[in-house]
Amino acid sequence: MATDTHPSKTGAGGAGHTLRRLLLDNGALSALVVLLVAMSLLSGDFLTTQNLLNVGVQAAVTAILAFGVTFVIVSAGIDLSVGSVAALSATVLAWSATSAGVPVWLAVIIAVATGIACGFVSGALVAYGKLPSFIATLAMLSVARGLSLVISQGRPIPFPDSVSVLGDTLGGWLPVPVLVMIAMGLIAALILARTYIGRSMYAIGGNEEAARLSGLRVKKQKLAIYALSGLFAAVAGIVLASRLVSAQPQAAQGYELDAIAAVVIGGASLAGGVGKASGTLIGALILAVLRNGLNLLSVSAFWQQVVIGVVIALAVLLDTLRRKAGSGASAGGASAAPGSPGKGRKGAMQLGIAVVCLAAVIAAVTFFKSGSSGTTTKVGMSLSTLNNPFFVQMKEGAQKEAKAAGIDLTVTDAQNDASQQANQLENFTSSGVDSVIVNPVDSDAVGPVVRGANEADIPVVAADRGVNKAETATLVASDNVAGGKLAAKTLADRLGGKGSIIVLQGTAGTSASRERGAGFAAGMKAYPGIKVVATQPADFDRTKGLDVMTNLLQSHPGINGVFAENDEMALGAVKALGSKAGKSVPVVGFDGTPDGLKAVEAGTLYASVAQQPAELGKIAVRNAVKAADGKKIDSMVKVPVKVVTRQNVADFS
């Protein structure tokens, strides 16, 4: 017998064999170990207690969302709504506890019930409406996000202090989000492994028709499965809002993709029937380690997405090949010996793929790392987005100044996600940079992490937008409110104080949109003969500006002017107006971007309120270096705002 010819190993050798088997039988765990080793070798700041805790905090929300998504994927479904449901649940909690005056404990119950209700509706659409899960949850994604914006009116809502403790630490070092993540992981594991509903998930995912014929109430089980996903999304939303001390209506955008990626990386099959909570946790940690490590290694913000995608693909490939090798070994003989050639080839193959993963990370860092380790001053810069020419110019100005001064500048892209920006600032703090420049996604949400930098004696310079409830060395900014007033006066003067206009707003909830819009509205009060006939958000995006303007022109064909809160939307409006732009319908933009200035010169864009973003970036770096050296700087540095028209555009070009 096999048990006679292959006695079990004991002692240190047995432990080593067990560890080897654990790694070889779990591709995601092998990939995580490889990443941990690689990041530890490449960055001396990675393997510290504080940074590892940061990784845990940064993985928490994705992991909690992913635990809920695991239930759905195991049952051969998909849930694209979890990010929006998380934002809606947090918004409901904040609104209930503040505006509605509901007791906090009841507001928490209502928020959780909101998540469950969203999941229940999705489940009903799938089970009884016969909609594909992709379509049903895609619809819920839109509905939940829309309701979040309706309830909040596009503005962040302060979170109750008694609930915000979920974003704090115990004993000054142990993050509560990590504890919540562990607790929700244990609950997910218990549900999957020890409950009737858990066994139902595997049965439905393995073969839904067979599960139905065996007496399983598939439709009712699907209702429960999607409701569970909604519950976990609600918890994730509450934890996320607690970290930011505010409910952000635009929070958790794109998190559903991270959650699905974490589940698949963890070994689950999109075909259903396979998956476990421990694998999902490993998948979420892989994503968090990648983002944290790439920040610490100063990998370019543009290349980070490429590196993350490649490593995710390699991690999944490792697990896929492991499964194929395992099935091949089983086909060759059910009682193959542990030391057989097939097993050896399988181990060698996995070791080879692990080496490829490590080589990919090292190659990415070698070729795409920005900055130099030989400089004496390290500055971290977190921009709200790099998907906008204004902030790209700010980055270029900052990099030019840093290069001239011999400064090691690391620039990160928060992608208009307050939570991601919080992660980046935590990474800067744990890596021990000399100073930090932050262009906040939201002034309130960034406050807690800036306070963390304050406690670490790292000076923080705010750029373009201020930071609330935290100390900053200085604010380098243009006055968005004043700029909005200038835009109003410029457009009103061009119209002679009479007419009807359309306003294109930026991303709902962002401080730039609020301030520019408020300034424009205040400026227009002096011109009662001008009527704003429509106000619609176009998210600071040129394509959306084109689409929204095209739609509005159908109901308001006789407008006389347009104000857009940035040049990108203004250029989209110009395209929609066609030959009317710059002639019968003047369009005023904001930012003074290169494309905007070209349009002003061509006469299609009547004017742009120029903020000189490159100069703003340069001044921010200069002040960050001064703050790092302990020099005294002004509490506010103003970058001039000017209206650019065809008459003076040559001065700016």
- Please state whether beta strands 246-247 and 169-170 pair in parallel, antiparallel, or not at all (unpaired): unpaired
- Read off the pLDDT band of 443 (50, 70, 90): confident
What pLDDT, on a 0 to 100 scale, did the predictor assign at position 337? Answer: 46
Q: Whole-angstrom distance between the N-terminal and C-terminal Cα of the chain?
A: 84
- The pair phi, psi for residue 364, each rounded to 5°, is -60, -45
What pLDDT, on a 0 to 100 scale, did the predictor assign at position 350? Answer: 52
Amino acid at 385: T
Does residue 218 have a pLDDT over 50?
yes
Residue 355 CB-density burial (10 A; 0-12 exposed, 13-18 middle, 19+ buried): exposed
Does residue 8 have a pLDDT over 50?
no
- DSSP type of residue 242: H
Mean pLDDT score of the chain, rounded to an integer? Answer: 87
- The residue to which tokens 């991303």 are assigned: 507
- DSSP type of residue 456: T
Structure tokens at 615: 């100069």
Among residues of the chain, what percentage have pLDDT more than 70? Answer: 86
What pLDDT, on a 0 to 100 scale, did the predictor assign at position 4? Answer: 42
Lowest mean pLDDT of 78-92, 117-131, 365-379, name the range: 365-379
pLDDT tens profile 339-372: 445 555 555 555 555 555 555 555 555 555 544 4
What pLDDT, on a 0 to 100 scale, did the predictor assign at position 444? Answer: 85
What pLDDT, on a 0 to 100 scale, did the predictor assign at position 61? Answer: 96
SS3 content of the chain, % helix, strand, coil (to 5): 65, 10, 25
Among candidate residues 389, 376, 502, 385, the one with its CA nearest the CA of residue 434: 376
What pLDDT, on a 0 to 100 scale, did the predictor assign at position 323? Answer: 60
- Read off the pLDDT band of 109 (50, 70, 90): very high
What pLDDT, on a 0 to 100 scale, did the predictor assign at position 387? Answer: 84
- Read off the pLDDT band of 430 (50, 70, 90): confident
Phi-psi region of 612 (alpha: psi -120 to 50; beta: other; left: phi over 0): left
What pLDDT, on a 0 to 100 scale, did the predictor assign at position 269? Answer: 86
Can you say how many angstroms the Cα of residue 354 is from the centroid of all Cα atoms in its chain? Answer: 28
In the sheet with 474-477, reading across from the earlier edge strand, the strands are 408-413, 378-383, 435-438, 460-463, 474-477, 636-638
Does residue 124 have a pLDDT over 80?
yes
Contact present, 475 and 637 (Cβ < 8 Å):
yes
Does residue 609 have a pLDDT over 70?
yes
Rounded to two decimals, the pTM is 0.78
Does residue 320 have a pLDDT over 90?
no
Lowest mean pLDDT of 20-24, 53-57, 89-93, name the range: 20-24
Contact present, 243 and 418 (Cβ < 8 Å):
no
The residues, ordered by sequence, that sit 6+ positions from 394 with a Cβ below 8 Å of its Cβ are: 383, 439, 463, 464, 613, 614, 616, 617, 620
What pLDDT, on a 0 to 100 scale, did the predictor assign at position 380? Answer: 94
- Read off the pLDDT band of 31 (50, 70, 90): confident
Contact present, 644 and 608 (Cβ < 8 Å):
yes
Residue-wise DSSP of 176-214 = HHHHHHHHHHHHHHHHHHHSHHHHHHHHHHH-HHHHHHT
Query: pLDDT: is 512 or 540 the higher one?
Result: 540
Beta partners for 365?
Answer: none
What pLDDT, on a 0 to 100 scale, did the predictor assign at position 15? Answer: 62
What pLDDT, on a 0 to 100 scale, did the predictor assign at position 472? Answer: 95
As a whole number of angstroms, the distance between CA 53 and CA 296 comes to 14
Residue 315 CB-density burial (10 A; 0-12 exposed, 13-18 middle, 19+ buried): buried
Contact present, 536 and 548 (Cβ < 8 Å):
yes
* Secondary structure of residue 250 in the 3-state scheme: coil
As a whole number of angstroms, the distance between CA 437 and CA 624 comes to 7
Does residue 315 have a pLDDT over 70?
no
Structure tokens at 253: 């955008």
Structure tokens at 647: 């008459």
pLDDT tens profile 487-537: 999 999 999 999 999 999 998 767 788 889 999 999 999 999 999 999 999
pLDDT tens profile 450-469: 999 999 999 999 998 889 88
Among candidate residues 83, 37, 43, the one with its CA nearest the CA of residue 61: 83
Amino acid at 68: G
What pLDDT, on a 0 to 100 scale, did the predictor assign at position 651? Answer: 83
Contact present, 40 and 236 (Cβ < 8 Å):
no
Contact present, 373 and 408 (Cβ < 8 Å):
yes
Query: pLDDT: is 477 or 560 the higher one?
Result: 560
Query: What's the number of CA atoms in the CB half-sphere (13 Å) around residue 190?
Result: 6
What pLDDT, on a 0 to 100 scale, did the predictor assign at position 477? Answer: 87
- The residue to which tokens 């369009």 are assigned: 587
The sign of the dihedral angle between the CA atoms of 550, 555, 557, 560 is negative
- 573-581 average pLDDT score: 94
What pLDDT, on a 0 to 100 scale, did the predictor assign at position 42? Answer: 85
Q: How many CB atoms lie within 10 A of CB 1?
A: 6
Among residues of the chain, what percentage have pLDDT more than 90? Answer: 60
As a whole number of angstroms, the distance between CA 278 and CA 300 comes to 31
- 62-68 average pLDDT score: 97
The residues, ordered by sequence, that sit 6+ positions from 10 with a Cβ below 8 Å of its Cβ are: none
What pLDDT, on a 0 to 100 scale, did the predictor assign at position 494? Answer: 95
Furthest C-alpha separation in the chain: 99
Does residue 49 have a pLDDT over 80?
yes
Residue 420 CB-density burial (10 A; 0-12 exposed, 13-18 middle, 19+ buried): buried
What pLDDT, on a 0 to 100 scale, did the predictor assign at position 527? Answer: 96
Q: How many CB atoms lie within 10 A of CB 334?
A: 7
Among candidate residues 621, 628, 634, the one with its CA nearest the CA of residue 456: 628
- 588-613 average pLDDT score: 92
Angle, alpha carbons 310-312-314 (nearest 5°): 70
* Secondary structure of residue 20 in the 3-state scheme: helix
As a whole number of angstroms, the distance between CA 76 and CA 205 comes to 5
